[in-house]
Every structure is written in C-alpha cells, then in structure tokens.
Amino acid sequence: MILSVQDLTITRGGIPVLEGLNFALEPGRALVLRGPNGVGKTTLLRTVAGLQPPLEGRVDCPPETIAYAAHSDGLKAMLSVTENLRFWADVFGQKDISAAISAFDLEALADRMAGTLSAGQKRRLGLARLLVTGRPIWVLDEPTVSLDTASVQMFAEAVRAHLKGGGSALIATHIDLGLEEADVFDVGPFRAKPRAAQAGAFDEGFL
C-alpha cells in the first residue's frame, strides 16, 4: 500500500501551518519527518491518519491501513500488559500477541497493570501495540519519548522488521533513531505563508 500526499496544506486551530507538501511512502520504506518545534509535524501526521481533513490537497491512502501512535500512550491503566495487548489485538482482529511482547522485551512485565509501569515501560507497551494492529503503514509521533538507548534500538529493530515484512513507517522525531535506511523529509521549508484563519476550526476536540 502506497501512501501518497499531494499538494497538501494543513491547518491547526484554523490557521495554515504547512503548505505545498508532496511525498510518497512506498512499502518497505521509512520516512523521518524533521522540523523545529511547532512547525506542524504532529498536525501533518494527524491529517495523514485521517483525524482531520486537509485545507487543500489530498492524502491517498485508506485510513484503515494506518496504525497511528500519537504522543499519548492511550493505555488502559487498570489492565495488565497482556490484557492491554489482547484488547488491542481483538480490536484489530488479530490473535497473536507473543511477537509484540518479545519485540519490546515485555515478558517480565506481562502480568503488571499498565498503570504501574514506568514512563519508558509504558512507551514500550504503547509501541508494542503497533505489532498487534496488523496494519501496514505506521504513523508515529515522537515514538521514542522516555525510551533509554537500548529501548530506542529495540524500537528501531521493530521498525526494521516491519519494513522487511513489506510495511512502511512515517515518523516524526527529533532524535537519531539509528535507522540509516530511512529517508528524511525536512518540513521546515514548507511553512505556510500567513493567511486569514479559517472559520469553524474543528480540532479543539483534540486538545
């Protein structure tokens, strides 16, 4: 499944933030989004994931092919690690959670309630969820926040395995993931020129 973005202009709070974006992401490829704080990377990922419409242009890719991991982990605090993964596997119609547990070294934590995990352990569990979605296109917003060096490598290995299996990944990050095979797209030059705010901003619900 190819993700294609054409002549995209995106808004936040009704104000255009990035414009004239064009890129494609093919199976087996990773694309790292770079750009300074506040430039619009999160807004771009939300638009690609179908959570908000673009102001102009289009995203060609069925939203049901995308697994989106936002800043927040979205874990169920009162469920165990295993129960969290089973829950998400059920949502996505998948059966096997063992690969997700081993890819993110969660065996020793399998019976712990998610709410009792450390920040980095929660992040590992949040990322392990990607593996139980069965979805080919991963759209990831700052996936390595709270991760130590070994866990960043673990994450990079999981992405690499996903690419080898024909998946793809669009990742906004400020750090070096050690994914030499990834392409890099600096969105900084695509800052939108000032325009009047659009009426009826729709994204306040995401605050």
Ligand X SMILES: Nc1ncnc2c1ncn2[C@@H]1O[C@H](COP(=O)(O)OP(=O)(O)OP(=O)(O)O)[C@@H](O)[C@H]1O
Rounded Cα gap, residues 110 and 107, in angstroms: 5
Residue nearer to ligand X on the CB measure, 3 or 172 = 172
Q: Going residue by residue from 4 to 23, which x/- string records binding to ligand X, judged by CB under 6 A? A: --------xx---x------
Rounded Cα gap, residues 106 and 103, in angstroms: 8
Shortest separation between residue 172's beta carbon and ligand X, angstroms: 6
Rounded Cα gap, residues 135 and 138, in angstroms: 7
Cβ-Cβ contacts under 8 Å for 90 (sequence gap 6 or more): none
Residues 128-157 that bind ligand X (CB under 6 A): none
37 forms part of the interface with ligand X (CB under 6 A)? yes
Shortest separation between residue 156's beta carbon and ligand X, angstroms: 20
Shortest separation between residue 43's beta carbon and ligand X, angstroms: 3
Shortest separation between residue 192's beta carbon and ligand X, angstroms: 10
Residue nearer to ligand X on the CB measure, 168 or 173 = 173
Shortest separation between residue 148's beta carbon and ligand X, angstroms: 21
Cβ-Cβ contacts under 8 Å for 38 (sequence gap 6 or more): none
Shortest separation between residue 187's beta carbon and ligand X, angstroms: 8
> Do residues 146 and 119 touch, judged by C-beta distance below 8 A?
yes
35 forms part of the interface with ligand X (CB under 6 A)? yes
According to DSSP H, which parts of 58-148 are helical?
81-91, 98-103, 119-131
The closest of 49, 48, 37, 39 to 18, measured between CA atoms, is 39
Candidates 37-45, 77-85, 102-110, 148-156; binding stretch for ligand X (CB under 6 A): 37-45
Tokens 């990035």 found at = 18
Encoding tokens for residue 69?
């991991």
The closest of 174, 202, 186 to 71, measured between CA atoms, is 174
> Looking at the DSSP assignment, which residues form a beta bridge with residue 139?
68, 170
Residue nearer to ligand X on the CB measure, 40 or 167 = 40
Q: Which residue from 5, 16, 19, 41 is in contact with ligand X, where contact means CB under 6 A? A: 41
Candidates 36-44, 56-64, 73-81, 101-109; binding stretch for ligand X (CB under 6 A): 36-44
Which residues lie near ligand X (CB under 6 A)?
Answer: 12-13, 17, 35, 37-43, 203-204, 207
